[in-house]
Amino acid sequence: MSEPAEKATELFRQMNKNRRDVFKAYQGFTATIKKGSAIEDKYQSLILIACSILSQCDMCISLHVQNAATHGASRDEIIDAGLLAVAMGGSPKMMYMRYVYEEVDKLFD
C-alpha cells in the first residue's frame, strides 16, 4: 500500500473511532450508490480517478487507482482516466498525474 493510501486508511480508522455514526452513514451512502449503479465497478473506479484529480486529493487518487486495478483496469485505462481530468481542469490538474503514475508504476511494473 502506498503512503497516500496508508494515510487514507488511518484517517478512516480515526473517523470510525471518533464519529462512528457519521462514518457508518457515509459508508452506507456510498455503498448504496455503488450497489444500485448501472456502471460496472471498473468504470466507477476510472471515473473516481478523474474526480480525485479534479478534487486534488492525493489519498483519493491512490485509493481509486488501486481499486481500478483490482477491478481489471489496465495501466493505459487508468492513465487515460487521469488525462481526461487534466483535459477538463488544465495544467494545475496535470500536477496530480504524478500520483497516478506513482501508483500504476507500483501496480503494473
What is the predicted pLDDT for the residue at 67? Answer: 95
CA-based nearest residue to 100, from 26, 28, 14, 76: 76
pLDDT, tens digit, for every residue of 38-50? 999 999 999 999 9
What is the predicted pLDDT for the residue at 94? Answer: 93
Q: What is the mean pLDDT of residues 78-87?
A: 97
Domains of the chain: 4-108 (1.20.1290.10)
Calpha distance 11→85 (Å, rounded): 25
Calpha distance 85→98 (Å, rounded): 13
pLDDT reading at 19 higher than 90: yes
